[in-house]
Structure 1
Amino acid sequence: MLINLFLVIYGLAMCFVLFYSFAQANLLWHFFKFKDRKMPMATINDKGLPKVTVQLPIFNEKYVVERLIEAISSMHYPKEKLEIQVLDDSTDETADIINNCLKAFPEVNFKYLHRENRQGFKAGALKEGLEVAEGELIAIFDADFVPDPNFLLKTVGHFKDDKVGMVQSRWGHLNEDYSLFTRLQAFALDAHFMVEQMGRNAQKAFINFNGTGGIWRKSCILDAGDWHADTLTEDLDLSYRAQQKGWEFIYRPDVVSPAELPPVMSAIKSQQFRWTKGGAECARKHLWHVLKGTFPLKVKIHAAAHLLNSTLFIAILLVSLSSIPVWWGFYKGLIPLEYFKLAAFFLFGFVIIASVYFFANLNLSHFTFKSFLRFLWELPVFLAVSMGLSVHNAQAVWEGLTGKKSPFVRTPKYNLAVKGSNWVSNTYNQLKIPPTAYLEAILAIVFSVMVVVSIYTGTYEMLVFHSMLALGFSLVSIASFKSYMIHR
């Protein structure tokens, strides 16, 4: 019977989500063990400070590049031991802005490197810069970051241990209160940087360089094979190659590197597509090598959960679509009601995931009553929007797993820190509406109808789930059309 096929799809997808939640529970446990650990800080009087090259990969960043250069020029480190590479691939007036801005800091050792050919995109720029880098340590910051002036002093001390290859800081957020969507992004990223990174690092499982806000040992990058441009997440790719070679990574949650969150749905989708597809590409490239390696079992399990975490969007989409015929089966008596009661076991996974976000976000706000109240609405809205992004992100994951290649598309930066700032005039806004936006609108209507039908028929088994889907697809589709069509 066809209804049984949908029930199997629904059950298998829910099992995948449940097993992933078990890995998250383990990370949460180790987060509690790790969160109060103190880290050493090198001092300005330390004569043994190594020479550092700071790399700033830039491509058409006219709104934020001045802020970046001003912040980098204020870093506390001996001038004679600091080199700053401005790796500029820009094709617009950003290049002129950079050159004018650099004139204001003649005392800083800036090296301006402009490429006419964007071969390899960000990975290519970092690789070419590395070839002429003078530092034995390489710090990297994207254009939308405003680094802590003491970033280098707080991190270089770890490299006294010859086994350490990379130190990653925690991302902060310059504009998390700008809108609902920036707040939800902060909500998600804080869980990654608090529970996931800390939980993995505490048990010496593989963590990842997050593309920015980190510092590498140059010899580690070279030993791991240098930067590759065959995935959209060159940072995750290099991280896994380096750790498979035996290099150790250190995560510093107490060192914060503030950055801008995309305030527009088109920009959010651009970033999400690159992250989810790149993660799937890295799973295709590295997962088997890790699983057949001689690493401890816990490292293999967390590597699998880490590399396959973007596959959750395929599971969510399958659960969402199959839930309609499954609901019909319950309504018509084709599926025993006991099956639905048995499915309540999957709520355990939801409790785990909710706990991860609860402790990650409230730990940062010191468990205030205000932050608790905010969590009560943020969690369901975040889950709903995540479901609403499942079509877009599932496409990205499928392309990554099947090897379909696509160019590196940067996330537009806006330099919007306060409510009321206008993003409409940003020349980097994306105007082409992807086909998935129309499908999201259709699913918003479908699940809204399912909510009405469930209430009308008195069959409430899927009501909460379908309500969240209706909300999520509605928010994502409306925001998508608004951001893509505002200029038309």
Structure 2
Amino acid sequence: MKVLIILCLLLYAAAMLFILLYSLAQAHLLYRFRRYLKQGSNATPPAPEVWPMVTVQLPVYNEKYVVERLIDTVAALDYPAAKIEFQLLDDSDDETTQIIQQSIQQYPHLPFRHIRRQDRSGFKAGALRYGLEQAKGEFIAIFDADFTPSPTFLKQTVPHFSHPETGMVQTRWAHLNKGYSILTRLQAFALDAHFYIEQVGRSSLNAYINFNGTAGIWRKATILDAGNWQDDTLTEDLDLSYRAQLKGWRFKYLPEVESPAELPPVMSALKSQQFRWTKGGAESAVKHLGSVLRSRAPLQTKCHATAHLLNSSVFVAVLLASLASIPLLWAKVNNLLPLVVFNAGAVTLLSFAVISLVYFQANAMGNVSQSKRTGGFLLYFPLFLSISMGLALHNAVAVWEGWSGRKSPFIRTPKFNLEARQHKWQENFYLNIRMPYTTYAEGLLGLLFLGVAVWGIVQQEYGMLVFHGMLALGYLLVFYHSYQSYRKI
């Protein structure tokens, strides 16, 4: 029994150490972001004397709710008509294709090309690669189906390619439906930390950043030089980003340029997105981490790239630490380990403090009063942490599949266009109604940690009460909202 407890202690310590090291990297990014705020935003370089040719790629697969809005939005882009072309990269097998054909007829003066493939091989990466072969543009702008870029997008981004080594320019995601529900608010809470703190921090360090799959623009030569779009990971954007930057291309991030998009309003859609992101991140880590560590990049760049590529592994650490904490709590109640062991665990509070500061800073961005920002943070941050913990099992499975090389298809995130109020989310044709086994496991874990928390109170042992309470709340909330969305209640 003592050997088992020591093994659990080592597992818990290793998981919490990983989280601590990751939080220290986040702390450095927060410091760099604060410096960026003092220095001011990026100034847009002068417009080129002759605007270059731009191809706007719109990868689409079964997007009947949002594709018409997408076409209307990009048709309004302010750019010389002779210097732009639009590619509708349409892999759909439903009425989306007919909607596209009807919509582009409204813009006979614009060069829309409706491109169909014989099959969906390579998924999004395959569609982008196929379109690139036919693209006339020197630069390639990419928008997913739920994005609504402003008319000035190209004139705000293209001038930043004045430096010949600049290979990609990424803009900041904004949120069309942030206020739709608690779930969308929590997603905005999380994404803002990435698009403000992480992207700005890494960019200011000249460390590796990533193209976020959409709302960015590439130099075509960069894509080709880096080996083109590849489909051996579920995050073709992160994969290409690292291949390009390892080749020496520079990336530019523009937090002041907003690109609004839709947030998944239901848990099943969010889980689909999270699974793809976390598994693809793990696959990209397997593919590129060795190359990063062997490269001639500065040590600081290597450290942040390591944290970046391994960020999805935090869910594995949370899952392992939570499970190992149960026998450790039992050991503490029964005096089977020295008290100093548990006192040393207080250092993990540093991780919590850093993450709190990161999300507080991200939440503070925006045109709202200080009292509303603080109130919003106090309300949403505990919920965000709890639900993040509740997603640990689901995302840890994705990470494990990525590490082990198990392949799975690219599952698109269903889009809704609920802002138009034309239908309820329950009526969405694309929602998956098959509930995976992990959802039942999440419910059981919620009950388990609830029982552990209650047992700790009975034993008057409160050291892990907050941790276990948040785990119970997170797993039960994830289970409830998952069940609701899969069953379309």
**TM-score, length of structure 2 as denominator length:** 0.97
The answer to which of 33-42 and 90-99 deviates more is 33-42
- Of 22, 41, 44, which residue of structure 2 is paired with 1:41? 44
Contact 1:317 1:394 in 2 (8 A): yes
Structure 1 residue 349 corresponds to structure 2 residue 351 = yes
1:368 shift after superposition: 2.2
Counterpart-to-counterpart distance in 2, 1:32 and 1:463: 34
1:485 shift after superposition: 1.4
1:441 shift after superposition: 0.4
User: Kindly tell me: are residues 233 and 377 of structure 1, through their superposed partners in 2, closer, same or farther at Cα, counting changes over 3 Å?
Assistant: same
Structure 1 residue 173 corresponds to structure 2 residue 180 = no
1:418 shift after superposition: 7.8
Counterpart-to-counterpart distance in 2, 1:60 and 1:421: 17
1:316 shift after superposition: 0.2
- Of 105, 112, 128, which residue of structure 1 is paired with 2:107? 105
Counterpart-to-counterpart distance in 2, 1:329 and 1:29: 39
AA in 2 matched with 1:289? S
Contact 1:282 1:307 in 2 (8 A): yes
Give deviations 1:160-211, integer Å, cap 9, x for gaps: 1100000000000000111111111100000000000000000100000000
Contact 1:266 1:484 in 2 (8 A): yes
Contact 1:448 1:467 in 2 (8 A): yes
Secondary structure, aligned partner of 1:124: helix
Counterpart-to-counterpart distance in 2, 1:6 and 1:47: 65
1:42 shift after superposition: 6.0
Secondary structure, aligned partner of 2:106: coil
Give deviations 1:89-143, integer Å, cap 9, x for gaps: 0000000001101111111111110123001000000001000101100000000
- Of 5, 8, 21, which residue of structure 2 is paired with 1:6? 8
1:435 shift after superposition: 0.8
Counterpart-to-counterpart distance in 1, 2:254 and 2:387: 29
Paired residues for 1:222-241 under 5 Å? 222-241=224-243
Q: CA RMSD in A?
A: 1.4
* Number of the residue aligned with 1:482: 484
Give deviations 1:199-258, integer Å, cap 9, x for gaps: 000010000000000000000000000000000000000000000000000000000000
Contact 1:178 1:419 in 2 (8 A): no
* Number of the residue aligned with 1:428: 430
* Number of the residue aligned with 2:273: 271
* Number of the residue aligned with 1:308: 310
Same amino acid, percent of matched pairs: 55
Counterpart-to-counterpart distance in 1, 2:190 and 2:455: 32
Structure 1 residue 185 corresponds to structure 2 residue 191 = no
Give deviations 1:414-466, integer Å, cap 9, x for gaps: 11138996200100000111111011000011111112112222111111001
AA in 1 matched with 2:44? M
Secondary structure, aligned partner of 1:295: coil
Paired residues for 1:6-405 under 5 Å? 6-35=8-37, 36-41=39-44, 46-365=48-367, 368-405=370-407
AA in 2 matched with 1:81? K
- Of 457, 462, 467, which residue of structure 1 is paired with 2:464? 462
Contact 1:41 1:153 in 2 (8 A): no
AA in 2 matched with 1:484? Y
Contact 1:223 1:242 in 2 (8 A): yes
1:40 shift after superposition: 3.5
User: Kindly tell me: are residues 4 and 197 of structure 1, through their superposed partners in 2, closer, same or farther at Cα, counting changes over 3 Å?
Assistant: same
User: Kindly tell me: are residues 403 and 366 of structure 1, through their superposed partners in 2, closer, same or farther at Cα, counting changes over 3 Å?
Assistant: same
Counterpart-to-counterpart distance in 1, 2:466 and 2:29: 28
Counterpart-to-counterpart distance in 2, 1:75 and 1:89: 24
Structure 1 residue ranges, 4+ long, deviating more than 4 angstroms after superposition: 418-421
Counterpart-to-counterpart distance in 2, 1:37 and 1:136: 30
Secondary structure, aligned partner of 2:331: helix
Contact 1:190 1:360 in 2 (8 A): yes
AA in 2 matched with 1:244? L
AA in 1 matched with 2:17? C
1:378 shift after superposition: 0.7
Counterpart-to-counterpart distance in 1, 2:262 and 2:271: 15
Secondary structure, aligned partner of 1:461: coil
Contact 1:365 1:371 in 2 (8 A): no
Counterpart-to-counterpart distance in 2, 1:358 and 1:311: 23
How many residue pairs get aligned? The number is 486
Structure 1 residue 415 corresponds to structure 2 residue 425 = no
Counterpart-to-counterpart distance in 2, 1:87 and 1:272: 24
Q: What are the ranges of 5 or more consecutive residues in structure 1 without an aligned counterpart?
A: none
Secondary structure, aligned partner of 1:470: helix
Contact 1:42 1:155 in 2 (8 A): no
1:275 shift after superposition: 0.1
Counterpart-to-counterpart distance in 2, 1:419 and 1:459: 50
1:342 shift after superposition: 1.3
* Number of the residue aligned with 1:440: 442
AA in 1 matched with 2:146? D
Contact 1:441 1:477 in 2 (8 A): yes
Secondary structure, aligned partner of 1:300: helix
Counterpart-to-counterpart distance in 2, 1:250 and 1:425: 40
Secondary structure, aligned partner of 1:424: helix
AA in 2 matched with 1:96? Q
Counterpart-to-counterpart distance in 2, 1:30 and 1:286: 25
Q: What are the ranges of 5 or more consecutive residues in structure 2 without an aligned counterpart?
A: none
Counterpart-to-counterpart distance in 1, 2:227 and 2:367: 40
The answer to which of 420-429 and 165-174 deviates more is 420-429
Give deviations 1:40-61, integer Å, cap 9, x for gaps: 43677x5321110000000000
AA in 2 matched with 1:109? P
Secondary structure, aligned partner of 2:180: coil
Counterpart-to-counterpart distance in 2, 1:189 and 1:347: 23
1:38 shift after superposition: 3.1
User: Kindly tell me: are residues 419 and 305 of structure 1, through their superposed partners in 2, closer, same or farther at Cα, counting changes over 3 Å?
Assistant: farther
1:336 shift after superposition: 2.0
AA in 2 matched with 1:29? Y
Counterpart-to-counterpart distance in 1, 2:482 and 2:148: 28
